[in-house]
Chains A and B, each alone.
Chain A
Amino acid sequence: MNINLKIWRQSSDKKDGKLHDYRLENVDPNISFLEMLDILNNKLVKEKKDPVAFDHDCREGICGSCGFMINGRPHGPQKATTVCQLHMRSFKDEDDILLEPFRAKSFGVIKDLSVDRKSFDRIISSSGFVSVDTGEAGEANYIPIEKNNADEAFLSAACIGCGACVAACKNSSAMLFTSAKVSHLALLPQGEKEQADRVNKMVATMDAEGFGACTNTGACSAECPKEISQTNIARLNREFVKAQLGSFIKKK
C-alpha cells in the first residue's frame, strides 16, 4: 500500500512547528504503525535529514511511552489500542494520515511528536501511594479482599499513564488519569486510611498543573487504550466530596 503522511515537525518547545508532507510507497499492511515510522526515519537518515522524534519503548502497549494524534484521535482509529499495537492494515491504500503531538497546556512539546508528561508524575507523587515503609508489612493473607473489589482495583490500576485521556478531552482534563489512581487505592483496605488526604492532594496538584475541569463528555474513556472506565471519575467525585465534608465537619 502507499500512504501520504502529514507530520508535525517542531525542533523544540521554543520554536514554532509546522506540518510536513511525506510519501511512503509499498508499505506492508502487516507491519506496525511504529515500524512504518522506522522505515520513514531510516529513509530520512539516508537522505541526511533529521528523523521524526517520537516516544516509544516496549512496543507491547504497556509502558505508556508512545502516543500521538493520528487523524485527530489519540493512538489512532482502533479502539483500545496504543499506537505501538496499531498495524497498517487499519489504513487503506493512498490514505492521508495526519500525525500531531498530544496537545495540552500541561504537556509541552519536546520535539516533533514527543511531549513532556512529567505533570503526571507530580500528581502521583503528591499522594498516589500507600504510606508503608519496606519491611513494615504484615502477612499478606491476613487481609482478605473481596474478589470483585480486587478485580475492580486492578482495572483502575491498569492505567498506563500515556496521556491519551488528556489529549482527547476538550478541556485537557486529567480527571481520568487521576481518578484511576484514586479509585485503585480507594477500593482496597490498604488505601482507605489515607483516602481523604490523598484525593484532596491529588486534585489540588492536578489543578495546579494546569489541567482543565471535567465536564463529563466521556471522550477520555472512549479513547483510552486501556479502556479505563468513566466510573472512576464518579468515584473520585464521591471521595472528593466525602473528603471536603470531612474536613468541614472537623473544622466545625
Chain B
Amino acid sequence: MNNFKLNSNAPNGELHTKWEDYKKTLNKLTPEEANKYKVIIIGTGLAGASAAATLAEKGFNIHAFSYHESPRRAHSIAAQGGINAAKNYKQDGDSVMRLFYDTIKGGDFRSREDNVYRLAELSVNIIDQCVAQGVPFAREYGGLLDNRSFGGVQVSRTFYARGQTGQQLLLGAYSALSRQTNAGKVTFYPRHDMLDIVTVDGKAKGIVTRNLLNGKIESHSADVVILATGGYSNVYYLSTNAMASNVTANWRAHRKGALFANPSFTQIHPTCIPVKNDFQSKLTLMSESLRNDGRVWVPKKKNDTRKAVDIPEEERDYYLERIYPAFGNLVPRDVASRRAKEVCDNGQGVGNTGVAVYLDFKKAIKEKGEQFIKEKYGNLFDMYQNITDENPYKTPMKIYPAVHYTMGGLWVDYNLMTTIPGLFSIGESNFSDHGANRLGASALMQGLADGYFVAPHTIMDYLATENPDFSNKTDQKEFVAAVEETEKDIEDIMSIKGDLVVDEVHRELGKVVWDKVGMARDKKGLNHAIDSIPKIKEKFWKNVSIPGSDKDMNQELEKALRLKDFIELAELMAHDALDRNESCGAHFREEYQTPENEAERNDKDFKYVAAWGYNKNGKPSLFKEELKYKNVKLKTRSYK
C-alpha cells in the first residue's frame, strides 16, 4: 500500500460532455447476462433503494440489507427542505454550470470538479424520474412544479414537498424497490446489521451480518458489494441523525483496506432546536428553508434577559443581514453556524442557557399572512411547538447549530468505487461531491444521482469484467475467518460485564468530539482529543455492561457494536483535523482565519483530499489526492 497512488480515474475530455462520452465507453450487459450476477447492497435509504431498484431493473439479482424492519424507515426520510435541480423553471438564470459552480464554491474548493459537474448535470433527470414515480412535489396554481431558495445560492432551484421532501423521495425510491421485490429481483433482509466485509484475492466478495432478532451471525457472498450506509454524525452522540445511524459498515470496510477521506469534514447545521437537558437523546433540525422567511437575530446588549417581544427593533442585531448584505439569512450552513457560535460566545445568546439565537418570522407573517407561512412550513412549526412548548407563530424560534451531515466518508473514484475493488460506496457514505461543506438540498440530490444514474452504469461496467459466480461461497476460508472474528468481537463485548451503560460512554465520547473536533478546532484541543479518546476506548473495553444474551434481540449489544467503531473513527477525525493546517468550509481552525473571522484557506499546501489508511497498531497513514481545477478559478469565498 505504501507506493499506492490515488487516482480519481476520471476520464479526459470536456467537462460538459465528459459523463455522457464516458458512459458510451462503459461495458454493458444484457438483462439475460445480468441475471447471472448477485449484488449485495447495504442500506436502503435514498441511495441504496434507488440503486437496488435500478440495478434490478437492469436484470441483476439484488440482496439488500438493512438494520431497519423496512426500507421506508431509513433516515433519508427525515430530510425536510428539498432537493436541488438546475431546471431553471424560474428563468432566473440557473444552469448546470451555475449549480456546479455553487456546489464547488459552497464546498470551499475541496471537491472534485468532474464529480460535481456530473451531479449538477444529473440533477434534472432526478426530478423527472421522481415526478414519474408519483412523488407529490409542491406545485403552483398553474399546475407546474414550484421552487424555493436555499442557502449559499442566489437562484430558486429547490424542489420540495412541504417540509417532508426526504419522506416523499424515499417513499418514491421505496416504491421502485418494492416493485422489484414483487418481480422477484430483490431479496430484502430486514433487521440485519452488517458487521464485516469479506475480501477474496483483494476483491470485495461478501459480508458478515448479525440478525438482530436472534443474534445469528451469517455470511453472504456476491459478485459486488455496495455500501449505502449514510453518515456518521452520531459520533458526536447528539446530532440530528436518527438513533441507529452509525459508521460500522464503513469502518469495517476501512479496516479491510478502504481509505477514509476527509473524516473531519462534518457539517454543523445552523438551525436546530437547542439542547435542553442532560437526558437529551437527539437533536431536531428545523429546515434551512425556514431561513427564506425567518430572520436570525440576537440582542445587541450582552446578557439581555428580556423576552424577545420586549426587545425593540433598534436593540436587535440581525447579524447575518448586517455582515452579509448580499446573501443575508441565506448564507451557507458553515458560515451561519460559526456566526451563531460567535455571538453566543460573546454573551449575546438567548434562552435559559444563553446558547441559542432567535429565528423570527414576525416580518414574514405580517407581510405574507399566517396562512402562507403555515402552508409552507406547517409541520415544522408544529414540531417545534411540540418539543419546546412554545408557539413560533407568536414568539421567535430559538435555534442553535447541531451536527447534521458528514461530508467525509469512504474515498471513491469517479466510478464511486472505493480502494477495495468491487466495493462501491454511494450517497452520504462516500466523501465525494460536497468538499468541505455541503449546500442545503444537495444531499438528496447526491443520494439519488449516485443511486439512480451513476452507480448502475459503473457497477455494470465493473461486473462485465468479472466472471459471474452465483454459487454460495461462504464456506471459503475468507468467509469462515470473517465470521469467527465477528463472533469473537461479540464474545469479548459480552464478557466485559462492567457497570457502565453504553450511552454513558457514548455521551463522554460525544462531548470530546463536539468540544474539540466541532465547530471550531485548534491544535491544542485536537491534541487533547487524540490523548483522551484512547482512554475512552479503554473505558469501553473494561467497563461497559451488556445485559441479556447475544443470541436474542439485544438493543444494548447493537449500540455497543456501533460505539466501538465510533470511538476509533473519532480518533481518526482528530488526526485529520490536526493535519489540515488551514480552514476551509466546515473545518474551521482557530489559527487560520482572516481579520473578518472567515475561513482562511491554504490552496498551496492543502488543495487535496486527505484519504486515510488504517493501521492496526499505529498512526493512520495519509494518502493525498491532489485536486485539479481547470474550469473554475480558486478564490476566497465571499457571501457579502
Is A44 located at the chain interface by the 8 A CB criterion?
yes
A56: B residues at CB distance < 8 A: 243
Total B residues in contact with A, Cβ cutoff 8 Å = 81
Central interface residue in A35, A121, A125, A134, by most chain B CB within 10 Å: A134
Give the contacts of B155-191 with A (CB-CB under 8 A): 161-162, 164, 167-168, 171, 174-176, 178-179, 181-182, 188, 190
Q: A158, B164: Cβ atoms under 8 Å?
A: yes
Complex: A85 Cα to B389 Cα, angstroms: 11
Q: A140, B73: Cβ atoms under 8 Å?
A: no
B284: A residues at CB distance < 8 A: 59-60
In the complex, which residue of chain B has the Cβ closest to the Cβ of A65?
B73
Is B4 located at the chain interface by the 8 A CB criterion?
no
Q: B168, A154: Cβ atoms under 8 Å?
A: yes
A35: B residues at CB distance < 8 A: 279-281
Please choose the segment from A46-54, A93-101, A240-248 that sits at the chain B interface, where 4 or more of its residues have CB less than 8 A away: A46-54
Q: A129, B54: Cβ atoms under 8 Å?
A: no
Is A89 located at the chain interface by the 8 A CB criterion?
yes
Give the contacts of B114-148 with A (CB-CB under 8 A): 125, 127-134, 136-145
A105 to chain B, nearest CB (A): 18
Beyond A57-B243, A128-B175, A157-B171, is A34–B281 a contact (Cβ under 8 Å)?
Answer: yes
Q: B136, A42: Cβ atoms under 8 Å?
A: no
In the complex, which residue of chain A has the Cβ closest to the Cβ of B131?
A140
Is B456 located at the chain interface by the 8 A CB criterion?
yes
Contact flags A142-160 to B (C-beta < 8 A → 1, else 0): 0111110011011001101
Q: A134, B456: Cβ atoms under 8 Å?
A: yes
Is B357 located at the chain interface by the 8 A CB criterion?
no
Total A residues in contact with B, Cβ cutoff 8 Å = 79
B243 to chain A, nearest CB (A): 5
Is A103 located at the chain interface by the 8 A CB criterion?
no
Give the contacts of A57-98 with B (CB-CB under 8 A): 57-65, 80-81, 85, 87, 89
Q: A147, B139: Cβ atoms under 8 Å?
A: yes
A117: B residues at CB distance < 8 A: 69-70
Q: A85, B133: Cβ atoms under 8 Å?
A: no
Complex: A131 Cα to B213 Cα, angstroms: 33
A42: B residues at CB distance < 8 A: 501, 503-504
Complex: A241 Cα to B149 Cα, angstroms: 44
B137: A residues at CB distance < 8 A: 150
Complex: A123 Cα to B161 Cα, angstroms: 24
Q: B143, A120: Cβ atoms under 8 Å?
A: no
Contact flags A19-39 to B (C-beta < 8 A → 1, else 0): 000000000101110110011
B89 touches which one: A124, A141, A157 (CB < 8 A)? A141
A106 to chain B, nearest CB (A): 14
Complex: A57 Cα to B230 Cα, angstroms: 14
Is B91 located at the chain interface by the 8 A CB criterion?
no
A51 touches which one: B70, B181, B282, B556 (CB < 8 A)? B556
Please choose the segment from A1-9, A182-190, A213-221, A229-237 that sits at the chain B interface, where 4 or more of its residues have CB less than 8 A away: A182-190
B57 touches which one: A133, A158, A190 (CB < 8 A)? A133
Q: A49, B547: Cβ atoms under 8 Å?
A: yes
Beyond A39-B279, A130-B133, is A62–B128 a contact (Cβ under 8 Å)?
Answer: no
B87: A residues at CB distance < 8 A: 140-141
Contact flags A113-140 to B (C-beta < 8 A → 1, else 0): 0101110110011111111111111111
Q: A11, B75: Cβ atoms under 8 Å?
A: no
Complex: A160 Cα to B164 Cα, angstroms: 11
A191: B residues at CB distance < 8 A: 134
B360 to chain A, nearest CB (A): 23
A34: B residues at CB distance < 8 A: 281
Is A110 located at the chain interface by the 8 A CB criterion?
yes
B215 to chain A, nearest CB (A): 12
Complex: A57 Cα to B444 Cα, angstroms: 19
Q: A64, B281: Cβ atoms under 8 Å?
A: no
Q: A28, B132: Cβ atoms under 8 Å?
A: no
Is B381 located at the chain interface by the 8 A CB criterion?
no
Is B496 located at the chain interface by the 8 A CB criterion?
no
Is B386 located at the chain interface by the 8 A CB criterion?
yes
B382: A residues at CB distance < 8 A: 80
Complex: A121 Cα to B426 Cα, angstroms: 24
Q: A190, B244: Cβ atoms under 8 Å?
A: no
Complex: A110 Cα to B556 Cα, angstroms: 16
Is B573 located at the chain interface by the 8 A CB criterion?
no
A235 to chain B, nearest CB (A): 15
Q: B136, A188: Cβ atoms under 8 Å?
A: yes
Complex: A121 Cα to B186 Cα, angstroms: 13
Complex: A62 Cα to B161 Cα, angstroms: 14
Contact flags B448-470 to A (C-beta < 8 A → 1, else 0): 00001100100000000000000
Q: B78, A154: Cβ atoms under 8 Å?
A: no
Provide a sorted-by-A list of 26 A–B residue pairs whose CB atoms are within 8 angstroms. Answer: A31-B279, A38-B503, A42-B503, A48-B547, A50-B547, A57-B73, A57-B75, A58-B75, A59-B242, A59-B284, A61-B383, A63-B73, A87-B386, A111-B553, A120-B70, A121-B72, A121-B181, A128-B178, A130-B133, A130-B134, A134-B50, A135-B453, A137-B125, A154-B136, A157-B168, A190-B134
Query: 7 tightest CB-CB pairs across the interface, nearest first?
Result: A144-B143, A137-B132, A129-B175, A125-B178, A154-B136, A140-B131, A137-B128
Which residues in B have some Cβ–Cβ distance to A below 8 Å? 50, 53-54, 57, 68-75, 77-78, 87, 89, 125, 127-134, 136-145, 161-162, 164, 167-168, 171, 174-176, 178-179, 181-182, 188, 190, 213, 242-244, 276-277, 279-282, 284-285, 382-383, 386-387, 389, 452-453, 456, 499, 501, 503-504, 545, 547-548, 552-553, 555-556
Which residues in A have some Cβ–Cβ distance to B below 8 Å? 11-12, 28, 30-32, 34-35, 38-39, 42, 44-46, 48-51, 53, 55-65, 80-81, 85, 87, 89, 110-111, 114, 116-118, 120-121, 124-141, 143-147, 150-151, 153-154, 157-158, 160-161, 184-185, 188, 190-191
19 A-B pairs besides A63-B73, A87-B389, A137-B125 with CB distance below 8 A are A30-B277, A45-B547, A50-B547, A53-B555, A63-B75, A65-B69, A85-B383, A110-B553, A118-B70, A121-B70, A121-B71, A124-B174, A134-B129, A135-B453, A136-B132, A140-B130, A144-B139, A150-B137, A184-B134
